[in-house]
Amino acid sequence: MNNLDKFREDTRDWLDKNCPPSMRNGADPKIPVDEVWGGRNAEYKNPESKIWLDRMGEKGWTMPTVPKEYGGGGLTKEEVKILNEEMFFIGAKQPLLSFGIWMLAPVLLEYGSEKQKKEHIPKIIKGEIRWCQGYSEPGSGSDLASLSTKAEDIGKNYLVNGQKVWTSYADKADWIFALVRTGAKEPKHDGISFLLIDMQTKGVSTKPITLISGKSPFCETFFDNVEVPKTNLIGELNAGWTIAKKLLQHERKFISNFGLAAGMGSKRDIVSIAKKHLGEENGKIKNGFYRSEISSHKIKEHAFGLTLKRANDEGGKASATASMFKLYGTEHNKKRHELMVAASGINGVAWDGDEFEDNDKNLTRAWLRTKGNSIEGGTSEVQLNVISKRVLGLPSQ
């Protein structure tokens, strides 16, 4: 037996013994399902969620390729593939959702000091600390580098003052990774640093943001004379923009994977919605105007799906195509929701109360939420700028 076969056998045994019944195929549907983000204040409706997280975290298998010295699994790519396959076979749940895993840990590994890696990465892997992202500010959206949250040198510490916005789950997070201004405003990219801040520090406060669609995970985060140890600076002083960009790449990758998966696997089917609300004749949507618009849209989405497949077959291309996927993924999603709302008639704008079905009320909220898709993670217009400059080589003004 070669090493990989042995690894597969051991992994299968371990999963068999350690993956709780409610965390895999055949789970009792009456047991409540947790969305596990970990952290100091995590609460679990199902105690097995916590058991599963602890066991996987102990093995380092929430970040299986990270070296063991930082609490990771220390696995090779081949071994990770086997681990994923074995987890897939038994339908094992992902034990942990985490901005720490998706965004922070990869840049810590690249830019953090040895001490910082050893301090933070193991806690990310075990789900002990929940992180949030402090990037956007009220005055700095698409032009992120103009940010003005200030960190002043006051000796042993930095004194942080300012405000972040669109910090997802800031009200639930333990720590925040933030971009702060430590240098001059001009040139704007050169005065930015990457700082880690404990949300329990005096002067940090958060306030949830209600969206047009209702409740949301987004928050505003305020820093009012917050003292942060200088040892929490990642990388060089005033060199945070490089780290920020790297992290954004990890974020975009995550958003486009997540967004596409959400869109493709969406339970709402525009054809059945149209047939339900507009009627059906010989298997066709009765209203010809809606039918043709829906067909046009379906053709576009089909062509987009084939383009994703082609990019995959070509072995994954440069970041320019990532801009196209972000642009079309989100714009198509918006269009699909507009069509579903239109085809639903007044039910498509139902908001609350018992007169409407949950499906319709949820669709209204989902439709409103899609309006943010083409803004968050780089607006559609920013994606078009990237394509015109980087792909087409059109000149700057």
From candidates 321, 359, 362, 379, binder to another protein by CB under 8 A: 321
- Cis peptide bond prior to 229, omega within 30° of 0: no
Residue 300 tokens, joined: 């576009």
> Could you tell me the smallest distance in angstroms from the CB atom of residue 382 to another protein?
11
Beta strand 233-234 with 218-229 is unpaired
Whose Cβ is closer to another protein: residue 261's or residue 303's? Answer: 303
From candidates 18, 168, 362, 385, binder to another protein by CB under 8 A: 385
Whose Cβ is closer to another protein: residue 12's or residue 298's? Answer: 298
Q: Cβ distance 387 to 324 under 8 Å? A: yes
Looking at residues 301 to 320 of the shown chain, list those that interact with another protein (rule: CB under 8 A): 302-304, 306-307, 309-310, 313-314
Rounded CA gap, 31 and 49, in Å?
A: 11
Is residue 382 a contact point for another protein (CB under 8 A)? no
Stretch that binds another protein, among 41-49, 92-100, 215-223, 296-304 (CB under 8 A): 296-304
Whose Cβ is closer to another protein: residue 128's or residue 338's? Answer: 338
Is residue 393 a contact point for another protein (CB under 8 A)? yes
From candidates 26, 29, 283, 353, binder to another protein by CB under 8 A: 283
Side chain identity at 93, as an amino acid letter?
Answer: K
From candidates 328, 329, 350, 370, binder to another protein by CB under 8 A: 328
Is residue 397 a contact point for another protein (CB under 8 A)? yes
Whose Cβ is closer to another protein: residue 3's or residue 292's? Answer: 292
Whose Cβ is closer to another protein: residue 104's or residue 340's? Answer: 340
Rounded CA gap, 154 and 222, in Å?
A: 20
Looking at residues 91 to 110 of the shown chain, list those that interact with another protein (rule: CB under 8 A): none
> Could you tell me the smallest distance in angstroms from the CB atom of residue 344 to another protein?
16
Smallest CA-to-CA distance from 21 within 125, 126, 94, 91 is with 91
Is residue 394 a contact point for another protein (CB under 8 A)? yes
> Could you tell me the smallest distance in angstroms from the CB atom of residue 264 to another protein?
16
> Could you tell me the smallest distance in angstroms from the CB atom of residue 311 to another protein?
9
User: Please, which contacts does 214-219 make with residues 24 or more away whose CB atoms are closer than 8 Å?
Assistant: 214/365, 214/368, 217/168, 217/169, 218/165, 218/166, 218/167, 218/168, 219/132, 219/167, 219/168, 219/169, 219/170, 219/171
Looking at residues 232 to 271 of the shown chain, list those that interact with another protein (rule: CB under 8 A): 271
Whose Cβ is closer to another protein: residue 265's or residue 288's? Answer: 288
Task: Find where tokens 């299968």 sit.
Answer: 12
Q: Cβ distance 128 to 38 under 8 Å? A: yes
Whose Cβ is closer to another protein: residue 185's or residue 302's? Answer: 302
Residue 8 tokens, joined: 């597969």
Stretch that binds another protein, among 40-48, 244-252, 297-305, 337-345 (CB under 8 A): 297-305
Residue 26 tokens, joined: 């055949």
**Phi and psi based region of residue 287 (left: phi greater than 0; alpha: psi -120 to 50; beta: remaining):** beta
Is residue 295 a contact point for another protein (CB under 8 A)? yes
Rounded CA gap, 171 and 218, in Å?
A: 9
Whose Cβ is closer to another protein: residue 39's or residue 329's? Answer: 329
Whose Cβ is closer to another protein: residue 70's or residue 325's? Answer: 325
Alpha helices per DSSP H over the chain: 3-18, 47-59, 77-89, 99, 105-111, 114-125, 240-264, 270-278, 288-313, 319-344, 358-370, 380-386
Residues that bind another protein (CB under 8 A): 271, 274-275, 283-285, 291-292, 294-296, 298-300, 302-304, 306-307, 309-310, 313-314, 321, 324, 327-328, 381, 383-385, 387-389, 391-397
